[in-house]
Structure 1
Amino acid sequence: MSGAERVNGAAPATALVVGPAGHGVTGTALAQAAALRALAPGTVLLHLDGAPSAAELLGALGAAPPGPLLVHVTDRLFGRTPEEAADVIADLARRRRLVLTLHDLPQASDGPRNAARRAAAYRRMAEAAAAVVVASAHEARLLAACGADVAVDVVPLPVPDLRDAPAADPAAAPTGVAVLGYLYPGKGHEDVLAALDALPDGAGLLAWGRPSAGHEDLAEALAAQARALGRPCTVSGWIPDARLPELLRSAVLPVAPHAHVSASGSVNAWIGAGRRPLVARSDYAAELLARSPGCVRVYDDLRTALAGAWADPVGTWLPDGYRASPTVADTAALLLPVLARAAA
């Protein structure tokens, strides 16, 4: 029996998905699992909401058929510490052949202590797996920098279709500057607030998301910074998926200011809504443009970029009919040969 046959029938792959559906990594994993089931109907989905214990994860394997186990991993979903997450994944790998899709790769912006701890954990997880997937060539380099001597497949994050809401007039005066996604140190919200002095009085920050776990103080810190600068600032909290198209297609300036991004679901959400967000120059931004030319506006100076976009907001919209890649079905198709190799 070939590996491909096993993935598509006799020994199907199992997608083990951990975490609440509202988490970006979990949501991507669930969407991809659904697409895999359409391509390979024998694919099994096991979704454990919340933060399951190692025992609960191992217990769930009793419901999984033989075959490779596909797991999307960010360390924070699998343990209270990077070390605990690596222990859990290593334990899974002793029982099943793992295809690990790694997210949130460690990098210097994690800080010296956390970067070293997370690098050691990601190296352990990668070396325990039968196959490793990352979402960008930049992430592949970050994994190599962790000391992981493994082959890596790059399967980009999917671009969702979020155009099922009416679009604002592209030439309409912006109502604010919007940053989508979790609030965490280094995401760039503070940089946007500091750059608002390039815009007319009254222009403010719309932070569409909630603070990540352990960083609940950031909402008040942003509010205090905004008060000191005399600028409006709104932190929305969690946004249901159903509201995203309406928000992303409203008359705001879309900005993704994270300078150390290595893969971004929030940037893809802007693109999927027909927007052309302002993004800081990075290796990842270059990858996006190589794959989907014109999908983002890269900037070197945020103040200059904001002032230009405020004066000409049309440039923050993609042309009608623009289709960025890959779709979630595309990413599932890219995973099939990886799963087949792991099954062989």
Structure 2
Amino acid sequence: MNITHLLVGPAEHGVTEYAQLLADHSGGLRAGLEDTLHPGPIHVTFTDHLFGPDPESAVDAVLAAVEGHPFSVSFHDVPQPEEGLERFERRSNAYQRLARMADLSVTNSFHEASFFDSDIHVIALPLPEAPDPASTPDPGTVGVLGFIYPGKGHETIATAARQVDGLSVRALGTYSLGHENMELPGVEVTGYLSDADLWAEMDRIAIPVCAHRHFSASGSLMRWLAAGRRVLVADSDYAREVAANHPEQVVVVNDWPSALAEAAKDPEFTQRVNTLPTWGWQEVSTSWQDLWITHFGPWLRGNIPPSPVDDPAAVSVVIPYYNDFDSLKKVIAGIEKNNHEGNVEIIIADDGSDVPPEVTSTLPITVVRQEDQGFRAAAARNLGARAASHEVLVFLDGDTVPRPGYLSAMSRWITADPRSVVVGTRLQDGVEPQWLRDAWEYTRHLRLSDDTSWRFIISSVLGTSKQLFSQVNGFDETMIGYGGEDWEFGWRLWNTGAIFIHDPEAVADHLEPEWDVRVQPEMDKLAQKNAESIALASRITHPIARPSGVFFEQQDIVVSLPGNTPEPVVTAWLQAGDVRVVSPMSELFQADPRVGFATGRISIELSQPLCPPTDLAECLLRVEQLGGHGVLRYKNRNVGQIRYKRITCQTPAIIHTQMHPWQGSLRLERWFASW
């Protein structure tokens, strides 16, 4: 996944721990403040205390590190008025500035989000995974969890506890840096505890408390909740927000002596809550991935257009042609008037016309011919491309006239990056078809392309590099008849890693009526489109291009299973969609054409014999959105990988899913007969 996590601070710091765990559970690269960052989005888990000696310096350090990158920020220790007016103002200005600069800002609570002037998303802190209790609480113990510093509430709790008979206060943690000399009379301080020891010490506490004078998110509170404990929490907007989500566990407190006394005499207070809400790192990291997909989709999918190059490139214009000399002359005249400063050659690829075209021009013209064996536009374009001298290939149909500036607009992207595939703007009577206008709007001119955007590759106004064209072996020459060859070409280009671009400044006029008007009657139109759909179904394996339940020579998904996989698991995968299973080779599947070696657009490799997840389609979509490579994680264990042909990420994303081994009988006769 092309997200780089900027990790700053000691591992034991709560904010640093959050950053590390988010990287562990979501995937991506990791870097420090002084490292050279990989191109692409950066994620910053921010509290000013970790990034600089003062709030402004901390923000300066972040902005210097992420300069030139899109970036997201998880805000922690959000400023509050209770800190004091001067400190609050200094921190407020810094936090607001960073939020305005960020492409995506997130807090852990709605209370924190209300502080900011800019748009803020909310992802609540996760409940950590708590071990089973190791001991029962010691009667009368009051526990404060986490680093010790002024305002955390240790003094408040110690004072209140002295007013209630039989209570003792324990601080589970050590002093925060700079506060080692803080005096806490009557409080037992454990010092630093390892994670396992901390859980064990929490088990010994009878009355958990969170008594911060001001806090807006609390990892220590999440720990108590994850352990199923009831907690006394100082009243605040944040405390009430958490109480609404955990009504059985959070007791909001305004009077500490009374609250401690009530808890001490309530035998149920120390009992654990049996049913806990599911909100752990799996849910938190998935929520972050959802936001990254929305805000950084082109980066994650590897579809960031290059910076266009203004230097005029040499261009080969390829024009498939058949028996329409008048239109061809207009197309050539349009190329001549294009005012392109680089070298231009015209290649006419004649698809078996009755009379070969004889054209004169101020530009070099080459005519190549093939026999008339039906409508073979794909083969004609390939024939023309093979004759091209220049690296930039621009395809125009024989009835599509480019306006001035067309060649410069198309070639500037391809010169900048040979992976660029540029679609121009094709007008019909001065207007672009509505379906294309809709496509450019919701894909932001193909910047938001995905694995279905091959539908917007239009060969009549298309540009590629000769390098990329050769890499995918050009158009599919086996496609004979009108339509579909450009979609199939776009499909292979996308899976190869091409960058799709629509340039509204590359304008050409289509002389003939649109296909929908030109082809009549409706039965002919229906027959032509259905023939196109059938031709594409065997070539494009994406689910939107073929019907379910039909077996094709090539499946979309290829699943590799370990050798000890029981037959019911193999069958479950075969029933999960357009799937081929390459192993194991049980005799049960000898005649099944979907079992055996193959390659597909999507490969799934499992290290354990697990049934497909119920959310397989969502898992596959998430992997595609995050760069084409994902590690499947089930119950915090990596159990396999998903790889697309198009992989644009440096490291895999972590995909949390619900997979399970076969739970039924291993006696096949029982499975066959369902008894």
Normalised by the length of structure 2, the TM-score is 0.42
Partners of 2:292 and 2:278 in 1: CA distance: 21
1:196 aligns with 2:161: yes
Kindly indicate whether the alpha-carbon contact (under 8 Å) linking 2:8 and 2:50 is maintained by their aligned counterparts in 1: yes
Cα deviation for residue 325 of structure 1 reads 4.3
- Structure 1: unaligned runs, 5 residues or longer: 1-7, 38-42, 49-56, 227-231
Give the Å deviation of 1:35.
1.2
Partner deviation per Cα, 1:261-314 (whole Å, 9 max, x = no partner): 200000011111221111112211222122233121222211111011111243
Query: Which amino acid in 2 is paired with 1:233?
Result: V
Residues 68 and 342, structure 1, Cα contact 8 Å, conserved in 2: no
Counterpart AA for 2:181: D
User: Structure 1 residue 339 and structure 2 residue 292: aligned?
Assistant: yes
The residue type paired with residue 174 of structure 2 is R
After TM superposition, the score normalised by the length of structure 1 is 0.81
SS at match of 1:59: coil
Higher relative contact order (CA 8 A, sep 6+): 1
Deviates more, 1:264-273 or 1:247-256: 247-256
1:44 to 12, 29, 37: 29
Higher percent of residues as helix:
1
> After superposition, what is the alpha-carbon deviation per residue over 1:100-120, rounded to whole angstroms, capped at 9, x for unaligned?
001001111221221111111
Is the Cα contact below 8 Å between 2:229 and 2:272 reproduced in 1? yes
What SS does structure 1 have at the residue aligned with 2:67?
Answer: helix
Counterpart code for 2:235: R
Which runs of 4 or more aligned residues in structure 1 lie more than 6 Å from their structure 2 counterparts after TM superposition? Answer: none
1:150 counterpart = 2:118? yes
**1:209 alignment partner, one of 143, 168, 173:** 173
Which segment is superposed worse, 251-260 or 76-85? 251-260
Q: 1:40 maps to what in 2?
A: none
CA contact (8 A) 2:42 2:66 kept: no
Over 3 Å counting, the alpha-carbon distance change for 1:254 and 1:313 in structure 2 is farther
Correspondence for 1:27 among 11, 17, 20 = 17
Amino acid at match of 2:163: A
- Which amino acid counterpart does residue 250 of structure 1 have in structure 2? R
**The structure with more radius of gyration:** 2
Partners of 1:313 and 1:215 lie apart in 2 by: 36
CA RMSD in angstroms comes to 1.8
Which residue of structure 2 aligns with residue 52 of structure 1?
A: none
Matched residues in 1 for 2:278 and 2:108: separation? 13
Indicate the percent of aligned positions where both proteins have the same amino acid.
Answer: 36
CA, structure 1 residues 108+325, in 2 after alignment: closer, same or farther (shift >3 Å)?
A: farther
Give CA-to-partner distance per residue, 1:129-173, whole Å, 9 cap, x none.
11101000010112x2xxxx321110111110223342416xx62
- Report the residue type matching 1:182 in the other structure: F
Where does 1:1-344 land on structure 2 (aligned, <5 Å)?
Answer: 8=1, 12-37=2-27, 43-46=28-31, 48=32, 57-61=33-37, 64=38, 66-142=39-115, 144=116, 149-168=117-136, 173-174=139-140, 176-201=141-166, 203-218=167-182, 221-222=183-184, 226=185, 232-320=186-274, 322-344=275-297
Distance 1:291 1:280, change over 3 A: same
Letter in 1 for 2:48: D
- 3-state DSSP of counterpart to 1:138: helix
Residue type of the alignment partner of 1:25: V
Residue 33 of structure 1 and its aligned partner are, at CA, apart by 1.3
Taking the aligned partners of 1:335 and 1:324, their CA distance within structure 2 comes to: 19
For these two proteins, the number of residue pairs brought into alignment is: 297
Q: Is the 8 A contact 1:193 1:205 kept in 2?
A: yes
AA aligned to 1:339 is W
Query: Match for 1:198: what amino acid?
Result: Q
Amino acid paired to 1:197:
R
Quote the Cα distance in structure 2 between the aligned partners of 1:31 and 1:327: 11
Q: What whole-Å deviation, never above 9, does each CA across 1:200-219 have from its counterpart, x for those lacking one?
A: 25x3221112222222222x
Q: Which has the higher strand share?
A: 2
In structure 1, C-alpha distance between the alignment counterparts of 2:36 and 2:261, rounded to whole Å? 52
Q: Distance in 2 between matches of 1:181 and 1:120?
A: 28
Contact 1:164 / 1:245 at 8 angstroms: preserved in 2?
Answer: no
SS at match of 1:260: coil
Shift in alpha-carbon separation, 1:316–1:67, aligned structure 2, 3 A: farther
Distance in 2, matches of 1:44 and 1:165, equals 35
1-side partners of 2:133 and 2:36: how far apart? Answer: 39
Unaligned stretches of 5+ residues in structure 2: 298-675
**Do the aligned partners of residues 182 and 340 (structure 1) sit closer, same or farther apart at CA in structure 2, a change above 3 Å counting?**
same
